[in-house]
Amino acid sequence: METSDQTPAAKPRVTITYCTGCNWLLRAGWMAQELLQTFTEQLGEVALIPGYGGVYEIRVDGELIWERKRDGGFPDAKEIKKRLRDVIEPGRDLGHIDRSGA
pTM comes to 0.86
Helix (H) or strand (E) holding 45: strand 45-51
6 in a domain, yes or no?
A: no
Domain range holding 37?
A: 13-87
Residues of the chain with pLDDT under 50: 1-2, 102
3 in a domain, yes or no?
A: no
CA distance 94 to 84: 11
CA distance 49 to 60: 13
CATH number for the domain spanning 41: value is 3.40.30.10
Q: What is the pLDDT of residues 38-66, one digit of tens each?
A: 999 999 999 999 999 999 999 999 999 99
Helix (H) or strand (E) holding 65: strand 63-67
The separation between CA 60 and the C-alpha centre of its own chain, rounded to angstroms, equals 7
- Domain total in the chain: 1
